[in-house]
């Protein structure tokens, strides 16, 4: 089981994983006490949360920051996922453009119109 809530500052879905070994070690009497302690420690006051089974969380973490909880399931928010994907493309594109910019500026400095093309 996991505890999920939406972070009020970032809007991202947060997943809290309780440490079940702490029940065996005598820190908590049962699962309910463990979950209550995890909520008290990790979920900000006044923020709604819910307890979900492990299989309710998407298996792929590729678009982890695009997860959204509609109260009954955790899904990937496609507009957010697209923005995350575009940001990754921009990082790669900017790196490639910076490399081409150096080559182009050298061609300009050398007055080589063929290299500028």
Task: Yes or no: say if 116 and 108 are a contact pair by the CB < 8 Å rule.
Answer: yes
pTM: 0.66
Q: How far is CA 79 from the centre of its chain?
A: 14
Domain spans in the chain, listed from the N-terminal domain onward? 1-76, 78-117
**If we measure between CA atoms, which residue out of 89, 103, 8 comes closest to residue 47?**
8
Gyration radius (Cα) of the chain, Å: 24
Once rounded to an integer, what is the mean pLDDT over residues 20-42?
84
Does residue 21 carry a pLDDT above 80?
A: no
- In this predicted structure, what is the pLDDT of residue 4? 93
Interval 58-94: pLDDT, tens: 888 889 899 999 888 899 999 999 999 999 999 999 9
Name residues whose C-beta falls within 8 Å of residue 9's C-beta, 6 or more positions apart in sequence. Answer: none
């Amino acid at each position: 089981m996991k505890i999920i809530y939406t972070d009020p500052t970032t809007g991202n879905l947060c997943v809290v994983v309780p440490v079940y070994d702490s029940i065996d070690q005598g820190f908590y009497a049962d699962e309910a006490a463990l979950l209550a302690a995890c909520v008290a420690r990790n979920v900000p006051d006044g923020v709604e949360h819910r307890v979900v089974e492990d299989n309710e969380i998407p298996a792929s973490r590729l678009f982890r920051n695009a997860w959204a909880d509609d109260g009954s399931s955790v899904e990937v928010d496609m507009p957010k996922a697209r923005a995350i994907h575009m940001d990754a493309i921009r990082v790669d594109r900017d790196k490639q453009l910076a490399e081409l910019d150096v080559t182009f500026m050298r061609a300009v400095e050398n007055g080589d119109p063929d290299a500028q093309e």
